[in-house]
Amino acid sequence: MILIVKSSSAFYIGIAIVVSSVLAGCGQPGPLYLPKPPAAKGAPAKGPVEPAPVPPPPVIVPAT
């Protein structure tokens, strides 16, 4: 048994709404661009890294 369905304008409007919502909801808004390549790694530091000097403790002055 073959069913013949008459197409109506509501069907086309529904398809247009579904297609437009799918196209509007995908991806990043705005123009497309290629991401920048990762930066090249720099040369390793030579020798050990020295820590920063420790400041002297504060001087406490007694109240008079």
What are 1-34's pLDDT values in tens digits? 666 666 678 888 889 999 888 877 666 666 667 7
| Residue 15 covered by a domain | yes
Domain that holds residue 24: 1-28
| Residue 38 covered by a domain | no
| Residue 45 covered by a domain | no
State the first-to-last Cα distance of the chain, in angstroms, to the nearest integer. 109
Q: Does the pLDDT at position 58 exceed 70?
A: yes
pTM: 0.33
For the chain, what is the domain count?
1
**HSE value, Cβ hemisphere, 13 Å, CA-based, for 41:** 3
| Residue 9 covered by a domain | yes
| Residue 11 covered by a domain | yes
Q: What DSSP character marks residue 48?
A: P
